[in-house]
């Protein structure tokens, strides 16, 4: 992929050219630790694991990931810099992957800043590090899935607020599909079959398995397919904007 | 081999509305073409189509006889209307990015050459969002000429610049014109008389005149009058 490295470097640097990435990392780490301590009672439970830290990630990501990714395409469309990108001798896929990987790198960096918590519980007790590692992997995959959603939606509108709100909503839908209250409502309205169908798309359910130490194959396949689908959708939107789809 | 650009029967519509109708013209190296027309005539859309930003509904755009694709875009340099840039970068970072993404082998030399041509040495390390409009336009122009393209497409290159900046921009364009096809999309008619040697006039999405500058200027007393007669007479 010609130019992928250049696009990645440009996009990654752009996160740190403004306070965005710094604020994102600092606030996410602070809020997730605060939630784990205050609501998850990580200290009171006296358990040497990070489940009470991970359990809030689906809800945090519903807000945090769209906030990070809302500018991916929308800013280029608003300022006109998309004309520079589209006139370069690089493919649409290269642009999408480069932008996506840059956002992913910021997410990876953010989770790295959560590693001291992992170290801390190792000091406090006997930890099953495999379980914690699976939790971090699941958390990363879930964030990657939400970033793909945000990227696709950011290709639709040049308003970052619109992108943020729509992305939060879509991400929340995929989290909510695992909630008993939502599943019961689906069963009531559409029957058992619909409930089973909704469960397939419950991101929170897949993530729950990871946070309990499993690395389920269906979970991996789900996340990869989910990401590929949304990135593909983003590509379709870009191709549509460029008049390639007739 | 001398570079050629050919637009053949280009049609383009957005949401069912025809923007361009049967656009045809050929250009060869050494020509500076003024692509003029009223606002909304289809100038910018044509520039975007040549640069592959949009894809035409029908027709063909060929460089050296081959239909334009991702690879042949390496032969194009493009200054979009308004000269959009990433404000968080410095000119140095912007040009390094452009060199990197184009895979230029001798990037450092080419960056120095482009910087000297557009004279932005003094602001090379300054954030783009702190630069004046004139400097921003020059940085964008440096990005467009960095890889020494055979075809240079400039969309409203002097729009919004003060008279001194306009003069400098025109001098720069003239200086880099040799052996290239340069297409300047503009609604500033002075541009045509001062730097172009061929005029293409577009109105309501269709080309209504394509001739040398001298032939074009023979049509009336002055270029403003000719422009008005042709565009208003055509129902603009």
pLDDT digits (tens, 9 = 90+) for B101-158: 999 999 999 999 999 988 899 999 999 999 999 899 999 999 999 999 999 999 999 8
Which of A19, A21, A73, A89 would you mutate first to test chain B, the one with the most B CBs within 10 A?
A89
ipTM attached to this prediction = 0.92
Residues 45-64 of A with CB under 8 A from B: none
Q: What pLDDT shows up at residue B1?
A: 65
**Percentage with pLDDT > 90 across chain A:** 78
Q: What pLDDT shows up at residue A178?
A: 85
Using CA coordinates, name the residue in chain A closest to B75: A89
Q: Stretch A26-45: mean pLDDT, rounded?
A: 88
Interface of B with A (CB under 8 A): 12, 14, 48, 51-57, 70-74, 76, 78, 80-82, 84-89, 93, 97-98, 100-103, 143
Using CA coordinates, name the residue in chain B closest to A81: B84
Residue A18 forms contact with B (CB below 8 Å)? yes
Q: Which tokens hold the place of A215? A: 């690395």
Q: Where are the domains of chain A?
A: 4-241
Task: Please report, to the nearest 10 degrees, the dihedral formed by the alpha carbons of residues B158, B160, B164, B168 taken in order.
Answer: -20
Q: How sure is the predictor about A246, in pLDDT bands with cuts at 50, 70 and 90?
A: low
Q: What pLDDT shows up at residue B233?
A: 59
* Residue stretches of chain B with pLDDT short of 50: 235-236
Q: From CA A202, how far away is CA A27, in angstroms rounded?
A: 26
Angle at A122 (CA atoms; ends A117, A128), nearest 5 degrees: 105
**Percentage with pLDDT > 70 across chain A:** 100
Angle at A89 (CA atoms; ends A83, A92), nearest 5 degrees: 70
Q: Using the beta-carbon criterion (under 8 Å), do A2 and B103 form an inter-chain contact?
A: yes
Buried b (16+ CB within 10 A) or exposed e, B216-233: bbeeeeebeebbeebbee
Q: Where are the domains of chain B?
A: 4-233
Residues 87-106 of A with CB under 8 A from B: 87-91
Q: Work out the minimum CA distance from A176 to partner chain B, whole angstroms.
A: 36
Q: From CA B60, how far away is CA A112, in angstroms rounded?
A: 51
Q: Work out the minimum CA distance from B186 to partner chain A, whole angstroms.
A: 18
The number of CA neighbours under 13 Å toward the Cβ of A226 is 24
Q: How sure is the predictor about A40, in pLDDT bands with cuts at 50, 70 and 90?
A: confident
Q: Using the beta-carbon criterion (under 8 Å), do A243 and B12 form an inter-chain contact?
A: yes
Q: Using the beta-carbon criterion (under 8 Å), do A90 and B101 form an inter-chain contact?
A: yes
Q: What pLDDT shows up at residue B184?
A: 96
Domain B4-233: which CATH class? alpha beta
Q: Which of A3, A17, A86 sits opposite B88 (nearest CB)?
A: A17
pLDDT digits (tens, 9 = 90+) for A142-198: 999 999 999 999 999 999 999 999 999 999 999 999 888 998 999 999 988 898 888
Q: Which of A6, A79, A83 sits opposite B53 (nearest CB)?
A: A83
Give chain B positions within 8 Å (CB) of A245: none
Q: What pLDDT shows up at residue B59?
A: 95
Which residue stretches of chain B are H helix? Answer: 43-50, 91-101, 107-118, 133-145, 163-176, 189-195, 213-217, 223-233
Model-level pTM? 0.93
Give chain B positions within 8 Å (CB) of A10: 86, 89, 97, 101
Q: What pLDDT shows up at residue B191?
A: 87
Q: What pLDDT shows up at residue B161?
A: 80
Q: From CA B107, how far away is CA B146, in angstroms rounded?
A: 9
Q: Work out the minimum CA distance from A226 to partner chain B, whole angstroms.
A: 28
The answer, yes or no, to whether residue A108 has pLDDT greater than 50, is yes
């Amino acid at each position: 992929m010609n130019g992928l490295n250049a696009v990645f470097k440009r996009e990654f640097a752009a996160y740190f050219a403004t306070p965005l990435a710094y604020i994102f990392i600092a606030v996410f780490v602070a809020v997730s630790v605060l939630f784990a301590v205050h609501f998850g009672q990580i200290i009171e439970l006296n358990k040497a694991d990070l489940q009470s830290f991970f359990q809030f990630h689906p809800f945090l990501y519903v807000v945090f990931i769209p906030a990070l990714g809302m500018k991916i395409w929308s800013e280029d469309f608003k300022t006109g810099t998309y004309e520079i990108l589209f006139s370069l001798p690089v493919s649409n896929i290269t642009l999408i992957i480069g932008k996506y990987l840059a956002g992913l790198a910021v997410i990876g960096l953010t989770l790295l800043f959560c590693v001291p918590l992992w170290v801390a519980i190792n000091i406090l007790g006997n930890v099953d590090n495999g379980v914690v590692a699976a939790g971090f992997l699941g958390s990363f995959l879930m964030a990657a899935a939400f970033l793909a959603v945000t990227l696709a939606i950011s290709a639709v509108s040049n308003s970052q607020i619109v992108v943020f709100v729509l992305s939060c909503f879509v991400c929340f839908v995929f989290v909510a599909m695992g909630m008993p209250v939502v599943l019961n409502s689906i069963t009531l309205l559409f029957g058992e079959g619909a409930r089973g169908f909704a469960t397939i798309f419950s991101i929170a359910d897949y993530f729950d398995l990871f946070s309990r130490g499993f690395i389920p194959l269906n979970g991996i396949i789900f996340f990869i397919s989910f990401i590929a689908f949304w990135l593909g959708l983003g590509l379709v939107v870009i191709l549509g904007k460029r008049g390639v789809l007739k | 081999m001398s570079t050629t650009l050919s637009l053949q029967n280009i049609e383009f519509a957005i949401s069912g509305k025809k923007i361009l109708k049967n656009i045809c013209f050929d250009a060869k190296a050494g020509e500076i073409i003024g692509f003029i027309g009223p606002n909304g005539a289809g100038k910018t859309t044509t520039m975007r189509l040549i640069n592959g930003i949009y894809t035409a509904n029908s027709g063909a755009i060929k460089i050296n006889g081959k239909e334009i694709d991702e690879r042949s875009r390496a032969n194009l340099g493009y200054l979009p209307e308004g000269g959009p840039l990433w404000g968080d970068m410095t000119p140095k970072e912007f040009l390094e990015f452009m060199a990197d993404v184009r895979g230029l082998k001798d990037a450092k030399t080419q960056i120095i050459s482009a910087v000297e041509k557009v004279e932005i040495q003094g602001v090379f390390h300054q954030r783009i969002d702190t630069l004046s409009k004139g400097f921003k336009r020059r940085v964008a122009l440096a990005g467009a000429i960095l890889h020494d393209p055979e075809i240079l497409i400039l969309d409203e290159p002097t729009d919004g610049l003060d008279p001194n900046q306009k003069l400098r921009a025109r001098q720069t364009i003239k200086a880099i014109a040799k052996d290239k096809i340069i297409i300047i999309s503009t609604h500033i008619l002075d541009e045509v008389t001062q730097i172009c040697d061929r005029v293409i006039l577009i109105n309501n999405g269709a080309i209504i005149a394509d001739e040398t500058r001298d032939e074009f200027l023979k049509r009336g007393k002055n270029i403003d009058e000719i422009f008005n007669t042709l565009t208003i007479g055509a129902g603009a």
